[in-house]
Amino acid sequence: MSCPAGKADTPAHFELITYRQHDSFERTATLADRDDPSAVRWLVGVELARYRNKVKATVAAAAKVIGCSVGKINHMESGRNQQQPAEVTELMRFYGADQADIDRLASLAASAGEQTWWAPWTEVVPDWLRTFVGLEGLAVRASWYSPLVLPALLQVEGYAHGATAENIRVRPDHYERLVALRMERQRRLFDEENPLRLMAIIEEAVLDRPIGGWEVMKEQYRHLLRLIKLGAVIRVVKTSVGPHDALVGPFTVLDFHAAQSIAYVELVNGAVYVQDQDQVGGYTRTVTQLLAKKALTQDQTVEEIERRLATVA
């Protein structure tokens, strides 16, 4: 029996509940530091370029301000080179930024470490995904819309194996290590000091696609229910609700403590990182609209998952 979409049971700005530690997810080691200098450089570069373009300053004019070459400004904005806090401060002042934003971006530039946390998996992570993995580690909140498969951070190991093994973009000898990386990424959800707050909106069809087989799906249903009990926000959109704004495809919005939010859209052989804040706001509004008008409530979502679990148990 179909359940009608309920009204949102989270605020319009969808602040998430922090995950609580639970015996089922006892950690065996201290969570690895999620520092990623390349991701920090990317975030700083995006904002430097945005502020320069906002005031219509040329690259040559910016180079003159800090006494460097045009090439260096290009490298700073692309994130290829480490941005020095003093140079970031000078450029931001030249662009007319508020002092609070100057201090924020200079502090972010100064926070870049030397070693990325996912270095052991470097050889198996495609170039287009590396930036996302780094940004995810720096984010304070991730909002997913997934119409096809469960978000990576919600997958049990068997589900992750099934999804990876059927992916023609992944070399067979890389399956195990990519799944291991995915499991390591999930540990951030249960970090007591710096948890990643996650909102996942999934289409009903995701629950009915037997990735890894029905035994795996049984484990996956139970895992989703445990996550919800721990405070995860997972909401299902019934197929019967018809069309809605998000039907163009899956996306993720990442929010940061000291940087502008970004949206991420994965393609067949690459990804698009949406940096323009008006466009990012469009993705955020889509999530808000789904919660308010289309998605089931959390309780109704639990009922949908429990009904499927009873069927396969």
Each residue of 117-132: pLDDT tens digit?
Answer: 777 788 888 887 888 9
Q: Which two tokens stand for residue 65?
A: 């301000």
Q: Flag whether 139 is in a domain.
A: yes
Q: Where are the beta strands (DSSP E) in the chain?
A: 141-146, 197-203, 233-237, 251-255, 262-267, 270-274
Q: Which two tokens stand for residue 8?
A: 């949102």
Residue 300 lies in a domain: yes
**Domain edge (last residue) among 51, 77, 110:** 110
The dihedral sign for the CA sequence 176, 177, 181, 187: positive
> For position 208, what pLDDT does the model report?
97
- DSSP states of 117-137 as a string? TTGGGGGGS-HHHHHHHHHHH
pLDDT digits (tens, 9 = 90+) for 34-67: 778 888 899 999 999 999 999 999 999 999 999 9
Question: Do 52 and 95 fall within a single domain?
Answer: yes
Which CATH number goes with the domain that contains 106?
1.10.260.40
**16 lies in some domain:** no
Which structural domain, as residue segments, surrounds residue 245?
A: 23-33+116-312
Cα 229–233–235 angle (5° rounding)?
Answer: 110
Q: Where is the domain boundary, 60, 82, 110?
A: 110
Asked if residues 235 and 295 have their Cβ atoms less than 8 Å apart, the reply is yes
Rounded to two decimals, the pTM is 0.77
Is the pLDDT at 262 greater than 80? The verdict is: yes
Same domain, 29 and 41: no
> In degrees to the nearest 10, what's the CA dihedral of 39, 44, 49, 51?
150
| 86 and 200 part of one domain | no
